[in-house]
């Protein structure tokens, strides 16, 4: 499975992190250095945002949406992982 824990993500050197939540949620708080590309924008324009040669780490609030979009993008030949705990866990436990 293409999942990664928040702890593993935070150990990576300069990862490509994508927050797939809406702009309002992102502006209220996000993982440092994460880019905000809302779920439907990423799903409908993935070739505009992603490079098949780079790994990407996606997160949402709980992990469900990021898992869904990560699985789809991987079927299209992209190298993506989803943060299984989601942002709310990060906010409450790590930050």
pLDDT digits (tens, 9 = 90+) for 1-23: 699 999 999 999 999 999 999 99
Full-model pTM: 0.95
How confident is the model at residue 95, as a pLDDT? Answer: 61
Q: Which pLDDT tens digit goes with each residue over 36-71?
A: 999 999 999 999 999 999 999 999 999 999 999 999
Specify the fold of 3-94. Oxidized Rhodanese; domain 1 (3.40.250)
- Over the chain, what is the mean pLDDT? 95
Distance between CA atoms of residues 78 and 55, nearest Å: 8
């Amino acid at each position: 499975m293409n999942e990664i824990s928040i702890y593993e993500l935070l150990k990576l050197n300069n990862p490509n992190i994508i927050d797939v939540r809406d702009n309002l949620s992102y502006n209220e708080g996000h993982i440092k250095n994460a880019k905000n590309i809302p779920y439907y924008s990423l799903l409908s324009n993935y070739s505009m945002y992603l490079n098949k040669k780079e790994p990407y780490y996606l997160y949402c609030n709980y992990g469900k949406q990021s898992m869904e979009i990560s699985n789809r993008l991987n079927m299209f030949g992209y190298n993506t992982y989803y943060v299984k705990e989601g942002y709310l866990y990060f906010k409450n436990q790590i930050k």
